[in-house]
Chain A
């Protein structure tokens, strides 16, 4: 197949992007870099500015200040249709009056490519996304997943330097979402195209991306590889947004933190705590050990069956709740109301300022 990879993948850089919509600050000085050929996921709750950032790269929004650079070249003032960026939208965005083939060929038509040439190229791209036989179907005859595939082919038709995906899977049902995200990832790696992927689904971001940028209130919280993001979150926000995190009250002591009657070392920098040494220890459910024990001070509040594991919610003696994932066979005895003891493994833990 003659589908090309771009000659050289592009570097994308946001520098100090700032944008206000009336009283809301959508972007508050965003600095972020995507390396050539990598898939960078922008992850965050709705309203964190991730879509605004993507639309600025596409040229649909303009920053109040700051710059967007592609391969070191400032494109902030370049109009959208000269940006050389292919985009897949959240809503179905195919042109309803054109069939799949003509949708894919639309950009080539705008570039005045001859009919024969653009037909060939469009057919190749449809084959690439696995829809070679659907060229003559109109968008309303295609399923949601197929429409997004065609949209992907359309975005790739002009051999863009950057591929932009704005929550392309969020309108699809769970199963299609799963296969399509694998396919997007495969294509992206095959073509080696620098890709920005906006999503609010952390599982999607962690499973697909090379780098995940977690955004919050218009700012970048952390940009790191998925494993690092999960294992060593830089801020409390990242810790709680990515994956599940429980806060267990602890107390800073010399050389560590005292929590649940154990003394554990601190992972990274301990927060500066004023006056008291009260802190919260952040723990993942898979790190929390729960054991049935009649003398235990904690009580099981609820259990939820997850398949291989059971998520047990326990209330500690002081009233805080923590979540623990236990293998299903171990959790059999833990019914709501059972007395248990809770422990943490002897490993460095993350510590955050007490919020309550």
Chain B
């Protein structure tokens, strides 16, 4: 028993070192100016560098829109799948896993082609305006669409795990026999019990959108991840400081989300 505990601490320590050493090194690198001691210049610089606030805000807006859209799409779909067509589940699972198989670079090449092809062939139709609108640099909706697809595998898995732990059919039927219509049964009886799953799905989507680089860069937009890479070329210290900061920002956001969701959460087993 004691040996087992020792092993556990050993493994935890090693894993901790693996993550913490590079992090600590990064932090030291950003604050330590050789010969002059500690200096927080690199961090203050970030905020004065143009584009920090706007790119971070853009990323957050994209994340919020993506979470809303992907949940609106997937929650009703998966509940319906459970209740109405359980045999289709493997099909949906495979479809939702496809984005893992298709490399982002191929995905974005496809989107790029469509975006170029669209306006040429649809210039005389109202759809032309649609193509223009979804590429609005202030809020590129096309990125939301791309991120929804990319988030599917994670959202599917998170929701599936949540739905497995509750008896959706019985909950819906119990609610209906208590006089609740279909929408009420879903909102009042099923969704509250999927809270954990919804949070997990939101977490994963948020992390995905905040860190996504390939698609945004190749389509020519500048959310947070792209901005970090862009400024890192000029100043080594600044770029590492930004990376550390972005890590902190992500953590803070995830913790906020967890705190927000966990406050009134009750464990529902039994």
Footprint of B on A, CB under 8 Å?
58-60, 79-83, 85-87, 89, 91-97, 106-107, 109-111, 138-142, 151, 154-155, 157-158, 164
CB proximity of B268 to chain A, nearest CB, Å: 4
Which chain A residues lie closer than 8 Å to B270 at the CB level? 92, 96, 139-142
- Which A-chain residue is minimally distant from B269 (CB atoms)? A140
Q: Known A91-B170, A96-B193; judge A85-B177 contact (CB<8 A).
A: yes
22 CB < 8 A contacts A-B = A58-B173, A59-B176, A59-B177, A83-B177, A86-B177, A87-B173, A89-B170, A91-B170, A95-B175, A96-B166, A96-B266, A96-B268, A96-B269, A97-B266, A106-B180, A106-B189, A107-B179, A109-B188, A110-B180, A140-B268, A151-B174, A158-B178
CB proximity of A86 to chain B, nearest CB, Å: 7
Contact of B167 among A79, A87, A91 (CB under 8 A): A91
A60 to B178, CA, bound (A): 13
CB proximity of A75 to chain B, nearest CB, Å: 13
Q: Known A110-B184, A140-B267, A140-B270; judge A93-B179 contact (CB<8 A).
A: no
**Is B96 located at the chain interface by the 8 A CB criterion?**
no
- Which B-chain residue is minimally distant from A55 (CB atoms)? B173
1/0 contact string of B149-171 vs chain A (CB within 8 Å): 00000000000000000110011
B176 with A80: CB separation less than 8 A: yes
**Is B220 located at the chain interface by the 8 A CB criterion?**
no
A81 with B174: CB separation less than 8 A: no
A80 with B268: CB separation less than 8 A: no
A60 to B177, CA, bound (A): 9
Please count the residue pairs between chain A and chain B whose beta carbons lie under 8 angstroms apart in the complex. 88
In chain B, positions 181-225 with a C-beta closer than 8 Å to chain A are 181, 184-185, 188-189, 192-193, 195
Chain A to chain B: the 3 pairs with minimum beta-carbon distance, closest first: A140-B270, A96-B268, A107-B178
Name 6 extra pairs, CB < 8 A, besides A92-B270, A93-B173, A95-B192: A79-B181, A81-B176, A89-B174, A95-B189, A107-B180, A138-B266
A95 with B171: CB separation less than 8 A: yes
A60 with B173: CB separation less than 8 A: yes
With most chain A CB atoms within 10 A of its CB, the pick from B167, B177, B192 is B177
Q: Known A97-B192, A158-B178; judge A80-B173 contact (CB<8 A).
A: yes
Which chain B residues lie closer than 8 Å to A92 at the CB level? 270
Interface of B (DSSP majority class): helix
A157 with B178: CB separation less than 8 A: yes
1/0 contact string of B102-118 vs chain A (CB within 8 Å): 00000000000000000
In chain B, positions 72-112 with a C-beta closer than 8 Å to chain A are none
CB proximity of B182 to chain A, nearest CB, Å: 8
A255 to B250, CA, bound (A): 93
Which chain A residues lie closer than 8 Å to B167 at the CB level? 91, 93
A109 to B225, CA, bound (A): 47
CB proximity of A31 to chain B, nearest CB, Å: 24
A154 with B193: CB separation less than 8 A: no
CB proximity of A201 to chain B, nearest CB, Å: 21
A93 with B178: CB separation less than 8 A: no
- Which A-chain residue is minimally distant from B167 (CB atoms)? A91
A141 to B270, CA, bound (A): 8
CB proximity of B208 to chain A, nearest CB, Å: 28
- Which A-chain residue is minimally distant from B176 (CB atoms)? A80
A148 to B127, CA, bound (A): 57
Which chain B residues lie closer than 8 Å to A141 at the CB level? 270
Which chain A residues lie closer than 8 Å to B178 at the CB level? 81, 106-107, 110, 154, 157-158
CB proximity of B138 to chain A, nearest CB, Å: 39
Which chain A residues lie closer than 8 Å to B173 at the CB level? 58, 60, 80, 87, 89, 93
Which chain A residues lie closer than 8 Å to B176 at the CB level? 59-60, 79-81
Contact of A97 among B179, B184, B185, B268 (CB under 8 A): B268
- Which B-chain residue is minimally distant from A84 (CB atoms)? B179
Which chain B residues lie closer than 8 Å to A81 at the CB level? 176-181, 185
B180 with A95: CB separation less than 8 A: no
Which chain B residues lie closer than 8 Å to A58 at the CB level? 173, 177
